[in-house]
Amino acid sequence: MHQQVNEWRPHQTREALISLLQNQLEKTRNETRALQEVTDSVRRTLVGFAGVQFFDSSIDGFDTQPKLNGSDWADNALDRSSHARSGELWKIMDDIFE
């Protein structure tokens, strides 16, 4: 009897470990899926910001630069003028929400 019990222990341990690892894998996949959804949402938001016209009081109220689409925005993200426009947008948003 004891011999049969001892023979089953490694099998039970192995099955328990497999179950535990499968649960961890499922949890990790769910977390990864959630992070991918958030990343996609942020990307859509950034692309949306790329099309925003910035208010410029010196030129009839609106910026004369053409709107940027998503790929142009990524290409020009480090451009100083776009950085300055981003700063202006954040300042306007700060003024609105104060």
Alpha helices by DSSP H, listed for the chain, are 2-50, 70-75, 80-97
Mean pLDDT to the nearest integer, 13-36? 93
pLDDT value for 25: 95
Residue 53 near residue 63, CB atoms below 8 Å: yes
Q: What is the mean pLDDT of residues 26-52?
A: 87
CA quadruple 27, 31, 37, 41: dihedral, nearest 10: 160
Residue 2: pLDDT band by 50, 70, 90 thresholds?
A: low
Q: What is the pLDDT of residues 51-80, one digit of tens each?
A: 765 555 444 444 445 455 555 545 554 555
> Residues of the chain with pLDDT > 70: what percent?
61
Distance of alpha carbon 56 from alpha carbon 51, whole angstroms? 15
Q: How far is CA 66 from the centre of its chain?
A: 27
Mean pLDDT of 74-98: 69
